[in-house]
Structure formats: structure tokens, C-alpha cells
Chain A
Amino acid sequence: MKFLPIVELATKGPVFDCRMCGQCVLHSTGMTCPMTCPKTLRNGPCGGVRDDGHCEVKPEMPCVWTAAEGRSHHALMPNSWEDHFSELHPPVDNQLRGSSSWLNLITKRDKQFPAGWVGRTMADDGAEPADEPRSALGEVDDISGLDQGFHERTSIG
């Protein structure tokens, strides 16, 4: 783990029970971490919330989204945050797990979404190979022939 993620976890861990997803949305969820939801839902409460507002999975725990919804109207929260509450959040980018969301915010890495999420195709972005899709790994006899991205994506550490 590098320096920044350690500082981030040390700060946000005790306060927000931060799970280091690397793409923080605390500002649009009334400062309640959605990754503490047992279903890690990013877009509001599921249909299983109990009558007392507690979690379907952990009856002793208040639903994080019910709490977040209440807090989003709190007088001390900026109004602009309330407006963001009902925005559709993109699927979690699992490549960012463990990295610093602060760094990802500054570098805009946390705003890199799959082309399909923003209504585009790979071809629009010039990323789609012109020929047939590449062969499956089982058919590759020389791994040096794989594109550079493959090695980056699969590197460990």
C-alpha cells in the first residue's frame, strides 16, 4: 500500500467505516458510506428495508441508505449535495479497490466509465478492433502477442 491510501484509510476508516473502494461518493450520500451496505448498493435502499428502517441482512444495523436519505436533507449539508442524492451512480470500478479516492478524484480516474455506460460504443471511442474480436486466451499460443493493456490489467501488486 502506498502512502496516500494509508492516510485516507486512517482518516476515513474510523469516521465513515471506509472500505477503500477508491471512488468515493460520500458527498452525494449525506456522508454515509454505501459500501457498508451488505449488498454494496450505490443507488439507494433495496426493497428489503425493515419497517423500523433497519437492514434486511443485519437487523441490528440501520439501513445505510435510509440514514443517508434522511441526512441528505440535513440543514448542515450543502444544498447541492441534496440535488446529487438521486443521481444514478455508475457501477463500481473494481480496479480501483484499495487505491486513494482523493488521488482518483484529482486525476479524474474515478470519472472514467465504460463507454456503454455513457451511451457510447468502443467504435465511437476508436477503441474497437477493426477485425473480428481477438481470440480467447485458450487459443493464444504466444502471450507476447497480447496487447499491452492485457498485461497491465492482469499485473499483480
Chain B
Amino acid sequence: MSRLRQLAESRSRPIVTAEFPSIDGGNLDTVKAKLDPILAFVDAINATDNPAAHAHASNSSIAIALKMLGAEPIMQVVCRDKNRLAAQADIVGAALFGVVNVCALTGDDVTAGDEPQARRVFDLDGPQLVKVMSGLAEGRYLSGRKISPAPELFVGAVENPFGPPQHYRVERAKLKSDAGARFMQLQIGYQPLVLESFIAGCVANGVAARTALLPTVVLTKTARALSFMHDNVPGISVPEPTRARIAGASDIPEESFQLTLELARHALSLDGVAGIHIADFRHDGSLARLVSELNLSVSEPTDPSAPSDPSDPSEPNAPTAR
């Protein structure tokens, strides 16, 4: 069983996931060099799928490489670049290599990238892709053709609690949870109150209990990074006071770190949050420092599917819902 799934089901401790940087050239050593500084501090790592509509080494190739190098990948699949045939083939193909965690995204539009002339696909949308992934896990393609044996998959999705219409985002999380998403990474956000109300809504409608909600924080080093995200990344807005706080700080890199630490502490304090997802734009060891200052341990969780010691009466036979 994947560690992500184990933790999402047991909730025995907070989950830590991270974004893997994009790879363009090189070989497996190139991937290893990017992995080594973060491997010990995370439970699972996102293999992204042409993020921000820029072509990079593919989601499945990076997911397989991460698996080969001893990490647990989360293979993102976006709807922008591939139709239903290609998306299903990638997932089933990567599963042959032990890529279990898959995460469905609609994907930024092609106009957000460096090839705005590209044809956009969007044959499926995000919620539909979640349901298609769930079908694959149950041993059938969308067409109904059987897959035997069924690939072992742990299906997830993303949601943006900060995107308008904000009151509807809870419904949308439920739509994806109902379609089979069992973990959900949330968009980067700098509005703690908005996150709070989203999480509270997900607790109220039952999503938080069955789908592990993972808010995202991002490690930045400069004032420009915040303005860039605010101005250029669709769906991310950074309030003016927050930007002013960083721009006016005497030690901008340290103040940026403290901001991320505060946001992460706040997110993890919310009832209904299962862990944290970290995007690292600093690559200076800050990810390790963040995990350490949050007192998060990512030691191997006990495997509930392993035979339990009969002499230990505290070990329940069935996983209990919390």
C-alpha cells in the first residue's frame, strides 16, 4: 500500500508532500540530484505534468524515475494536453512501474505557457478525470473494457479554495470526493480566513473525513516572487499587506520563510486538515528547515495491512474512522 494512502486512511500523523522541480535535460543522476535534498523530509512527491503549460520531462517518466530512486511519487495528470485515450494509457502504464498515487488536474490553459499556439485538448475535465481514474482502479477503462489485474491506484485531485466563486469551492471539492478523490492538494493561498472557511465547509459536508485535505504553502525568497505569483499565476492572489510586509522587511529571505512558516502552522492547526503540501522555489534547504520547525516527522508509518502481532491487544483488526 502506498504511504500516502496509509496515512490518508489512518490519519496517524500529518502528511507531508512536496512538488518536484521540473526536469528538462540530463539523466537519472539529474533527477537524483534534485531528489536527494528533500527525500528524507517528505512522504510523497508530485511528478508534475507540464506545469504552467510549459513542456518538460513527462509526468510518467519523472514518476517512474522517482519510484526507481526510492521516493514515493504522486503522478499529476492534467486534462490540457492529452485526450482520454492517452491519459488512461499513461496512468495504466506508470502503474506497471509501481506508480500508485495519481492526481487529476484541469491544468493551466495553453495561453499561460510558452507555446500559446498549441491546440488545447480538455477532452475530459478535472472531475471527470477523477472518476475515470477511479474506474481504472476498479479494473476497467472508461469504455468498459476490463483491466485484469486492476492497477493499484490511489486517486486524488486538487482544488483552489481561493478561486471565485469561493462559496462554491466546497461543493466542487465534494464533487471530486464523490468521484473518488481520496486526497486533495489545495492551491497556494495567502488568505488564511478563506482557507479556514473552505476547510470548515469540507468538515461539515463530510469531505474532510474521507478525503485527505492538503493545503499548499510555497517557500519563496524575494519580494518579487510574491508579486510575480500575484500578477502572473492564474488563481493565485497575494494580498497587498502581505506583499508590503515582505518588500519592507530588513531580511527579506528570512521574513519570507517566517511568512511560509506562519501559513503552514495555521493550516495544520485547522480541524479537517490531513497534512501539508510544499512548493519550494528557494532550493536552499528551507524545505528541510520548514518540516523541522513544524515538528513534522515523516518516519515510516506502521502498515495496517501487515499482519498484526497477536500479542498486541492495542492493534485493531480493522482501520477505524477518525
Do B164 and A47 touch across chains, with their CB atoms under 8 A apart?
Answer: no
Do A47 and B127 touch across chains, with their CB atoms under 8 A apart?
Answer: no
Whether B90 is near chain A, meaning CB under 8 Å from some CB there, is: no
Nearest CB of chain B from residue A114's CB, rounded to whole Å: 5
Whether A121 is near chain B, meaning CB under 8 Å from some CB there, is: yes
Whether B22 is near chain A, meaning CB under 8 Å from some CB there, is: no
Do B237 and A46 touch across chains, with their CB atoms under 8 A apart?
Answer: no
- Interface size grouping (class) on chain B: 35 or more
Whether B152 is near chain A, meaning CB under 8 Å from some CB there, is: no
Work out how many contacts link A and B, with CB atoms closer than 8 A: 135
Return chain A residues, CB-CB under 8 Å to B120.
38-39
Chain A interface (Cβ within 8 Å of chain B)?
38-53, 56-57, 63, 66, 69-70, 86, 88-92, 94, 114-117, 119-125, 127-128, 133
Whether B72 is near chain A, meaning CB under 8 Å from some CB there, is: no
* CB<8 Å pairs between A and B, sample of 20: A42-B128, A43-B125, A44-B127, A47-B234, A48-B163, A51-B237, A53-B165, A56-B109, A86-B174, A88-B127, A88-B175, A91-B128, A91-B142, A114-B144, A119-B135, A120-B140, A120-B144, A122-B146, A123-B146, A128-B144
Quick one: CB contact mask for B107-145 with A, threshold 8 Å, 1 for yes?
A: 011011000000010111111100110010011111111
A57 CA to B141 CA, complexed, in Å: 31
Do A41 and B106 touch across chains, with their CB atoms under 8 A apart?
Answer: yes
Secondary structure call for the B interface: loop
Return chain B residues, CB-CB under 8 Å to A63.
164
Whether B172 is near chain A, meaning CB under 8 Å from some CB there, is: yes
A145 CA to B84 CA, complexed, in Å: 27
